[in-house]
Chain A
């Protein structure tokens, strides 16, 4: 569901590695031709590093993203909604596994990725550092955050790295179920009793800011960004994805007579672009740095799951077992 596409800037930029120019030229030609890159191919050092960061962060977002919604499984209103939510949350964990596998083919082990997550070194999508206070939050997450994720994932599924594209193809298919069930919950609340409607409006008001943050701030059109686009690691700019999301989903919110907490939000008739008020990027960066309402809880829960399961995994360990990088 959940990759927002925004990869935080690195605090200490890595030293530039000079790859063999002949190999680099052949690689770039292959990518430009639209051929996919596969796990054991030669690839630029920076391509591998950036892909690992991106896929790993996407995987973390899936597994952490299961937590705010998972909270509501035991309190879902009715059996059918409970079944659907269980299926969706299971899908998110499954997506994490698919993505961890794709990143593993690039040479970073799953244990190393999880260590970086639980020790706060790797990031995940910022939206999951906010609490899901009511059942209406499940509607907003399932409908709008999954919708935003689909915009990003459909773009990325046309990227250059084979294993990531294959994982995303399957993920997008499952996301379309998430979006539909989220929309269903959303519409039921929007067309329900006045109390249900006001609960949904409240959730929408609280989630709108994190949703506007979802794709990240405008890209710096640096040489680095342009290289990632040429290598088909980054497939669309943050602004383009945000515009696409607004065009697709603001009308679906407005048709239900709900409002959005941004007085400046409107589509400019001349440029066809959405205009909006300042989404408060200062808050966005503060939450990324660990100061959101739920950062500590999310990491503590994830860590407890790993720590509490350790003895079971150890007991099942086979003495002759040995790790090899998965094939695809």
Chain B
């Protein structure tokens, strides 16, 4: 038996809600909450945009409105981007090993070119040769 909800909150009483009737489940259909947009937040001018999360929205404009509420409601915000999740191509984490040897490629890093010991040795040698 469904009974009317009695609340301490007059606004809830005005809704005239009833308790759930067993055997009459209410279900949202699939996709009822729309698709998702990835949100990118830029804190200050000059900063990069950073991925901060998602919002559900039927289109980019509403996604932006939700992004402002969800990711721009406190602190600083200079700019926001929203991108339909379907338009993001991402690698599989299972393929992460393709980058495994990258840190070893020291010929691509400034740190891979150490010559101070050569210079020191050269100066040492020269100073001996010129000593009378």
Which A residues have a C-beta under 8 Å from some C-beta of B?
A: 38, 40-42, 71, 74, 87, 90, 94, 97-98, 101, 104, 109-111, 114-115, 118-120, 131-133, 166-167, 174, 296-297, 299-301, 303-304, 306-307, 310, 313-314, 316-318, 321-324, 326-328
Contacts and interface: CB of A to CB of B under 8 A. Distances in A.
Nearest to B62: A316
A327 B88 contact: yes
- Residue from A101, A296, A317 whose CB has the most chain B CB atoms within 10 Å: A296
B26 A316 contact: no
B19 A300 contact: yes
A247 to B, nearest CB: 30
Interface in B44-99: 51, 53-56, 58-59, 62, 69-70, 73-74, 85-86, 88, 90, 92-94
A319 to B, nearest CB: 11
Nearest to A306: B28
Nearest to B90: A327
18 contacts: A71-B8, A101-B53, A104-B36, A111-B27, A120-B20, A297-B12, A297-B17, A300-B17, A300-B18, A303-B26, A313-B58, A322-B31, A322-B35, A324-B36, A324-B86, A326-B36, A327-B38, A327-B90
Interface string B22-33: 000111111111
B69 to A, nearest CB: 8
A301 B31 contact: no
Given A133-B8, A296-B5, A119 B25 contact: yes
Interface residues of B, number: 44
Nearest to A305: B15
A326 B54 contact: yes
Contact of B27 (A119, A314, A321): A119
Contacts of A316: 34, 58-59, 62
B11 interface: yes
A177 to B, nearest CB: 8
In order of increasing CB-CB distance, the 7 nearest A-B pairs are: A316-B58, A111-B28, A300-B17, A71-B9, A326-B36, A326-B54, A296-B19
B7 interface: yes
A278 B93 CA distance: 48
A321 B35 contact: yes
Contact of B31 (A111, A115, A307, A327): A111
Contacts of B5: 296-297, 300-301
A97 B26 contact: no
A33 to B, nearest CB: 14
A209 B113 CA distance: 66
A114 B58 CA distance: 18
Contacts of B28: 111, 114-115, 306, 310
B17 A304 contact: yes
Given A119-B20, A296-B5, A321-B58, 12 more contacts: A40-B93, A90-B73, A110-B56, A119-B26, A120-B20, A132-B8, A296-B20, A316-B59, A318-B59, A323-B35, A326-B54, A328-B51
Contacts of B19: 296, 300
A324 B35 contact: yes
Contacts of B53: 98, 101, 166-167, 328
Contacts of B15: 301, 304
Given A303-B20, A324-B86, A297 B56 contact: no
A118 B26 contact: yes
Given A94-B70, A313-B32, A313-B33, A115 B27 contact: yes
A321 B70 contact: no
B85 A111 contact: no
Contacts of A307: 26
Contact of B7 (A98, A174, A297): A297
Contact of B30 (A109, A304, A313): A109
Nearest to B36: A326
Nearest to A301: B12
Contacts of A323: 30-31, 35-36
Nearest to A167: B53
B26 A306 contact: yes
B98 to A, nearest CB: 15
